[in-house]
Structure 1
C-alpha cells in the first residue's frame, strides 16, 4: 500500500509540474504572457468598437498605470456631473448673523434689542471680533479645500516604472542573450497587401470613429510596428523595444523577457505576416493621438531551451494565426508607438 501511495504521489507531482511548465511555456509571443495590458488614454477601460477583423469584444485591460476609477470618471468631451457646491461663508453673512445674534441675546436678557451690543463694550468692538472670526473661518475653509483637491498626472507626463527590470537601457543597449535569433523570416515583404487590406476594410465600414483622419502612411506604421516589435521581442533587443513602445509598455514587455530568462527559455518568433486588419477608433487628447487597430496575423511561435537550443513548445515548421487589438500612441506629431495590446 505504501509503495502504491508513493507511486501515486510521484505521478501527481510529475503531472502538476508538467501542467505548470506547459502553462508558462504557452505564454509566448508579445503580449500573450501579459494578457491585455497598457493604456488607451481616457478610454483605457472603455471597450474599443468591434471590427470585421475582431467582431467579438476585446478583453478588458488588466494591467495599466492609469487607475480604474469606475464609471463616474469624467472623460474628455463629456460634461462634468452636477456636484453640490459647498456653502461659502462670506464676510457679509457672518456680520449680519453676529449682529442679529447679539440683538437676540439682548432681548432674552431684557436689555432690549441693542442691549446686547452695549454689553460687548461697543458696536465697534463687536465688529472687530466678528471680522477676525470670519477671516479665520475663511482661511481654514480655503486650506481644507486645497488639501482635498486630487493630484492628477496628465497624459503628456512620462511614466515612472518602479518594478524591477523595467527601466530604459542606457546608451545603445545590447540585446539580452547576445542577440539570439536571426530576425523574422517574413520581414515586411507582404506589407503592401496587408496595408491595402487594412485601409479597404476601414473604408467599407460606415461610421468608423476616426477623429484624426488615419491614412495609408499611418496604416503602414501600424503594420511596421507589429512586425518590428515581434522581431525585437524574439531577439530580446530591449533597446529596440523601448523605441517602438511607450515606456509603460516597454516595461511590461521587458518583464516578460526577464521571466523567460528566469525559466531558461527564449521565445523565438518568425514569419510575421499581417493577414487582415482594420481601424477600430482613432481620437485625440490634447497633443496626443491614439489609434486602436484590430489585426489578424500569421506567426511562427516557438519556445527554445536557452542552454541546449531544443524546442520545448511550438512547431517551428508551422505558422499559427492570432487576432489582437493594438493601440498606438503619437505625441506631438511624432512617431506611432505601441501603448496597449488586448487579446481578441
Structure 2
C-alpha cells in the first residue's frame, strides 16, 4: 500500500506530536498528587535562593524552586503570580518567546510536509494539519519554557546566600515537632508549631475539596496561584485529587528569621497521607490508592508581625 507524500507527512507530524506529548503527560501525571503537586514552589523572602539548613527530619537538601516569582536579589514576599510579559520571561508569554515558538512550530511542520522552513502554515490545507501545527506549537513552547525555567532556577539557586547552621530535632520528635536548637534569630514557640501542624492538615483538606477560597485564608497569593493552576490542570484531565488521613509523623525547625516587619519559618515535615486521583463523575481510581504513603517536605510559613501564619513555599527534599 502506497502513501502520498502528504499522507506520509501527516503520519510524521503525528509521530512528532506524540513523541513530544508523552514525556510531558507523564511528567504532569507524576506531579499531580497532593497540594503542591510534588513541585518546589513559592518564595522564602530574601532566602528564596538559599538552601534551608538540613534537619533530623530532612537530613538531605531541599530542592531549588522550579516555580517562584522571586528574582535573584529581590525579597519577593507573597506577591501574586501574574508577572508581566517582558521580552523573554519565564512564563513564555513575552514577545520574543511567542514569536520564536510560533516560527519554530511553523518551521518544523513546514519541513515535515516537504516545504521550506517558513512554509508550514501556507502549505497546510487540511483541518488536521492545522490542529497538528497548533498542538506542536503548544508542546514545543511548554517544553522549552520548562527547560528554560529549570536552567535559570538551577543556575541561580543556592548561590551566595548564607544557609545558617543546621537545626536538630529535639525533645523526642519522632511524633510531632521537635523544638530545634533554639538559636534561630526569630523565636518559634510551641503554639507556632501547633499552627504549622494545623495548617498542614487544613491546606491538604482545602486542596482535596478544591476550595480555593479557603486556600486564600491559609496561604500567600503566590502559593494559591500555583494551587489554582494545578487544580485547573486536574479539571482539564477530568480528574480530582483526594487527600485524606494526613498525619504529621515528625517535624523540626530548619530556620526562622525576620525581614522588616515580616516573620519567616522554614520547617521540615515528614507526614503520611492517603493520596488518590479519581475520575470526575465516575469516581474510578486513576492514580494512587488506599495505602498511606510518607512524604518529607520543607514548608515555609510567613506572617506580618503580630499576624497569622500562612504557607509561603513548599520544597521537595533529596
TM-score per shorter chain, which class? 0.5 to 0.7
Provide the C-alpha distance between the structure 1 equivalents of 2:27 and 2:42, rounded to a whole number of angstroms. Answer: 22
Report matched runs for 1:128-277 at 5 Å. Answer: 159-162=79-82, 197-199=175-177, 201-203=178-180, 206=181, 209-277=183-251
Change (3 A) 1:277 1:299: same
Q: 1:198 deviation in Å?
A: 4.2
Does the Cα contact within 8 Å between 2:62 and 2:315 map onto a contact in 1? Answer: yes
Does the Cα contact within 8 Å between 2:37 and 2:230 map onto a contact in 1? Answer: no
Q: Are 1:46 and 2:50 matched, yes or no? A: yes
Provide the C-alpha distance between the structure 2 equivalents of 1:292 and 1:270, rounded to a whole number of angstroms. Answer: 24
Q: 1:19 deviation in Å?
A: 6.4
> How many matched pairs?
223
CA deviations 1:180-228 (Å, max 9, x no partner) are xxxxxxxxxxxxx9989444x334xx4x552121111000000011110
Provide the C-alpha distance between the structure 2 equivalents of 1:216 and 1:196, rounded to a whole number of angstroms. Answer: 16
Consecutive unaligned residues of structure 2, counting only runs of 5 or more, are 3-11, 84-170
Does the Cα contact within 8 Å between 2:277 and 2:288 map onto a contact in 1? Answer: yes
Provide the C-alpha distance between the structure 2 equivalents of 1:307 and 1:248, rounded to a whole number of angstroms. Answer: 30
Q: 1:37 deviation in Å?
A: 1.1
Aligned to 1:320: 293
Q: 1:64 deviation in Å?
A: 1.5
Provide the C-alpha distance between the structure 2 equivalents of 1:11 and 1:66, rounded to a whole number of angstroms. Answer: 38
Q: Tell me the TM-score normalized by structure 2.
A: 0.62
Provide the C-alpha distance between the structure 2 equivalents of 1:313 and 1:296, rounded to a whole number of angstroms. Answer: 22
Aligned to 2:63: 59
Provide the C-alpha distance between the structure 2 equivalents of 1:55 and 1:196, rounded to a whole number of angstroms. Answer: 14
Report matched runs for 1:77-156 at 5 Å. Answer: none
Provide the C-alpha distance between the structure 2 equivalents of 1:67 and 1:20, rounded to a whole number of angstroms. Answer: 26
Between stretches 16-25 and 328-337, larger displacement belongs to 16-25
Between stretches 299-308 and 318-327, larger displacement belongs to 299-308
4+ residue stretches of structure 1 with deviation over 3 A?
A: 9-23, 193-199
Aligned to 2:164: none
**Which SS does the other structure have where 1:233 is aligned?**
helix
Aligned to 2:132: none
CA deviations 1:55-93 (Å, max 9, x no partner) are 001001222121024xxxxxxxxxxxxxxxxxxxxxxxx
**Which SS does the other structure have where 2:282 is aligned?**
coil
Q: 1:26 deviation in Å?
A: 2.2
- 1:341 aligned to 307, 311, 314, which one? 314
Provide the C-alpha distance between the structure 2 equivalents of 1:16 and 1:249, rounded to a whole number of angstroms. Answer: 29
Provide the C-alpha distance between the structure 1 equivalents of 2:27 and 2:80, rounded to a whole number of angstroms. Answer: 30
**Which SS does the other structure have where 1:259 is aligned?**
helix
Consecutive unaligned residues of structure 1, counting only runs of 5 or more, are 3-8, 70-151, 164-192
Change (3 A) 1:209 1:327: farther
Change (3 A) 1:216 1:49: same
**Which SS does the other structure have where 1:239 is aligned?**
helix
Q: 1:229 deviation in Å?
A: 0.3
Q: Tell me the TM-score normalized by structure 1.
A: 0.58
Change (3 A) 1:209 1:26: farther
Change (3 A) 1:44 1:20: closer
Change (3 A) 1:308 1:293: same
Larger Rg: 1
Change (3 A) 1:161 1:19: closer
